[in-house]
Amino acid sequence: MRERDGLSRRTFLKATATLGTGAALAHLGLGCSGSAHDIVVAKGTSPERNCLAAVEALGGFSRFVQAGDVVVVKPNPVGNRPPEEAIHTHPAMVAAVVRGCLQAGAGEVRVISHDGRRGMVVNGTAAAVDEAGGTLKALSNHDEFRDVVVPRGKILRTEGIAVDLLEADVFINMPIVKHHAGAEVTLAMKNLMGINWDRIRFHQTDLQQCIAELAGAVRHDLIIMDANHILLTNGPVGPGEVLKGNQVIAGVDPVAVDAFAMRFFERPPESIGHIRIAHELGIGEIDLAKLRIHEFQA
């Protein structure tokens, strides 16, 4: 696992366990985006073009991926409906990211999620990954996860995290914007339920608190959020009311990206428990007025 700016994912996990998430981010120099923008929003009718333009506005794939890197990508791959029904991350975006990482020199790109492979085949995710040259892993075995300490966890003292992610050089989270009956919304932090083993206890305890705590145990390198089609009701699997957002949102701070996406639901980010709690834990910034946001036509 390569050191990135003196920091490996293992170093990050050790630091967060010792210092707490917010202190670790400051101590390790991860409190800023490293670009001219904290959030970029690429707008247009092509999901693939929006995706590529958003990454380019943050510095391009070469900013995040170096030669030989193992890259792990986590889309929201569930459901058997077409992309226009806003259930899963658009396959064209997933393919574009896999190709972009490989072109930047990645040694391997693994697309992972603790979800069934059948849905990924039906909705086109599997074919997109294969055609782009990536490897799809539908995680299903307990031995594919490793327990790590969750910093400042009140409910999650330890959590089983995908070994692929723990040992990766780069982690790219690719959520879609949609309603969720339990968590209220599925955005970047909620999409992390899929890199962990035991999701059932999240629902059996305090879902909002658990989502926020899990976000503190995972270091994001890049977030690319699909807002081309947005499920406003009856999530997470629909069918429901769909808004054509025609945009892709990208950044490195999961709290900031999630806070920005709340505009589609016409609600303040503080009204969503896990976004508010994650901010309180020091994981990211919730106040959009403090962020550098760049919106443009792709």
Q: Per-residue pLDDT for 26 more than 70?
A: no
3 is a domain residue:
no
What number of other Cβ atoms are within 10 A of residue 26's Cβ?
12
Q: What is the pLDDT of residue 31?
A: 41
Q: Per-residue pLDDT for 189 more than 50?
A: yes
User: 67 in helix, strand or coil?
Assistant: coil
91: Cβ contacts below 8 Å, ≥ 6 apart: 83, 123, 124, 125, 127, 128
Q: Per-residue pLDDT for 204 more than 60?
A: yes
Q: What is the pLDDT of residue 167?
A: 96
Q: Per-residue pLDDT for 18 more than 80?
A: no
Mean predicted confidence (pLDDT) in 18-41: 57
Beta-strand (E) ranges in the chain? 39-43, 70-75, 108-113, 135-138, 145-149, 158-162, 170-174, 176-180, 184-186, 222-231, 242-244, 247-251, 293-297
4 is a domain residue:
no
Of the candidates 192, 177, 187, the residue with the CA atom closest to the CA atom of residue 240: 177
Please provide the average confidence, as pLDDT, over all residues in the chain: 91
Q: What is the DSSP letter of 205?
A: S
Q: Per-residue pLDDT for 157 more than 90?
A: yes
Q: Per-residue pLDDT for 13 more than 80?
A: no
1 is a domain residue:
no
150 is a domain residue:
yes
Q: Judging by beta carbons within 10 Å of its beta carbon (0-12, 13-18, 19+), is residue 29 exposed, middle or buried?
A: exposed
191 is a domain residue:
yes
Q: What is the pLDDT of residue 152?
A: 87
109 is a domain residue:
yes
The Cα angle at residue 252 between residues 246 and 258, in degrees rounded to 5: 55
Helix orientation angle between 91-103 and 125-132, rounded to the nearest 10 degrees: 20
The pairing of beta strand 135-138 with beta strand 39-43: unpaired
Q: What is the pLDDT of residue 23?
A: 44
142 is a domain residue:
yes
Q: Per-residue pLDDT for 187 more than 50?
A: yes
Q: What is the pLDDT of residue 29?
A: 35
154 is a domain residue:
yes
Question: In the chain, how many domains are there?
Answer: 1
Of the candidates 3, 11, 22, 113, the residue with the CA atom closest to the CA atom of residue 69: 3
Q: What is the CATH classification number for the domain harbouring 270?
A: 3.40.50
Q: What is the pLDDT of residues 218-274, one digit of tens each?
A: 999 999 999 999 999 999 999 999 999 999 999 999 999 999 999 999 999 999 999
The boundaries of the domain holding residue 173 are 9-297
Q: pLDDT grade, residue 7 (50/70/90)?
A: very low
